[in-house]
């Protein structure tokens, strides 16, 4: 399985104009840890993954590459799912 986490993490960090150092400090990690995540050399544990997802306000499914949606589709109003079902499928 392709490691989309590294790509999504870097994309989110850049979109939010945050340096690796700033992200690391916010999450109480080292810059080296963030760098190793973004290079694909390592993956975060579950607790850190949750912290990262919360920091960027995205779902764990999004940041790990399970879905293209940044939010949890289960929390999306049913009317939107019915009107635009193609947006809620992979």
| Mean pLDDT score of the chain | 83
Task: Compare 59 and 72 and report the one with higher pLDDT.
Answer: 59
Say which DSSP state 66 is in: S
Q: Which residues contact 53 (CB under 8 A, 6 or more apart)?
A: 59, 60, 62, 63
81 has pLDDT over 50: yes
| 87 contacts 67 by C-beta, under 8 angstroms | no
What is this structure's pTM?
A: 0.75
| Pair of tokens at residue 73 | 């589709």
- Smallest Cα–Cα separation from 15: which of 50, 65, 63, 47? 63
| pLDDT at position 2 | 62
pLDDT of residue 76: 52
Mean pLDDT on 24-34: 96
60/36: higher pLDDT: 36
Q: How far apart are CA 55 and CA 37, in angstroms?
A: 15
């Amino acid at each position: 399985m392709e490691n989309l986490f590294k790509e999504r993490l870097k994309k989110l960090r850049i979109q939010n104009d945050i340096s690796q150092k700033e992200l690391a400090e916010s999450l109480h990690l080292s810059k080296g840890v963030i760098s190793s995540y973004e290079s694909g050399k390592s993956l975060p544990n579950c607790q850190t993954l949750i912290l990262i997802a919360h920091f960027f306000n995205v779902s764990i499914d999004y940041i790990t590459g399970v879905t293209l949606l940044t939010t949890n589709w289960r929390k999306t109003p049913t009317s939107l799912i019915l009107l635009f079902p193609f947006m809620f499928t992979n």
